[in-house]
Amino acid sequence: MKTSKFKSWLFLLMAPILAVLLISIVMNGFAQASLLEEPDPEPASIDRDPVEVFTNTWSYSTIGLVYNAQTGSVYYAHESQSSLHRPTIYEIDYTGATIYTPTVVTSIALSAKNAGWPWQIDNRTGVGYDYVAETYFLPDYNGDLSYADDNIVEITLDGTILNAWEMDGEVGSNDSSDGSRIDTIIDIAVVPGEPPRYFVTAAYDDNVVYEISLTRTGTWWTPNS
């Protein structure tokens, strides 16, 4: 009789403890399953409102631009501007007394800077920057279809042309070493390195991006692209 009472007492003592342990095990299992099954929380919302809006009072028809972290300035390429050596490339600085106040640092007309370069192909539609070589690459959509068709120039910071490549050939000026052609070229991205890599896009080619090879010979319009 005493043994029976002892067992009853022991059961009454252990039952709540076992119940608590069982509930803890079950809840821990649910928590682990929840961690495995629930997707990652949504990232915090990003403010995509414009930081600043301003008019590029120095010119019009801005097509391409690139930021130069070494100078803290932005290079702009302009289309439909070239006539009698008018600038189509502008370096704009945004550091002044008032933040985001654009100031023209440099304006470049390729024909004014480079003897023998026709002003009819001063227009530029895009720009990429090689921060290792410290040079800019600027394509021109369709050229003027007289002196040149679609083309790319490499220039120094002051606008001196180091290289020029014809990319299409509707005026018989294609200089590609393998005969390849890209029509209506409009923009370029440069990946500096050894060797550097060049990626271009063309109008009306949908989502196609071309990787091209540009051999920098220092000579204009020779078979080097």
Across 141-215, the runs of DSSP E, i.e. the strands, are 151-155, 161-166, 185-191, 197-202, 210-212
pLDDT, one tens digit per residue, over 128-154 is 999 999 999 999 988 888 888 889 999
Task: Show Cβ contacts of residue 113 under 8 Å, excluding neighbours closer than 6 positions.
Answer: 158, 159, 160, 161
Specify the DSSP class assigned to residue 44.
P
Region of poorest pLDDT, from 33-42, 103-112, 216-225: 33-42
Q: What is the mean pLDDT of residues 12-36?
A: 52
CATH architecture of the domain 63-212 equals 6 Propeller (2.120)
For the question of whether the overall pTM of this predicted structure is more than 0.85, the answer is no
What is the percent of the chain with per-residue pLDDT over 90, rounded to a whole number?
37
Nearest to 75 by CA among 164, 136, 34, 145: 136
Domain boundaries, the chain: 1-38, 63-212
**Residue 151: strand, helix, or coil:** strand
User: pLDDT by residue (tens digit) across 166-206?
Assistant: 888 777 767 777 778 888 899 999 999 999 999 999 998 88
Q: What is the mean pLDDT of residues 32-52?
A: 59
pLDDT computed for residue 27 by the predictor: 57
Calculate the average pLDDT of the chain: 79
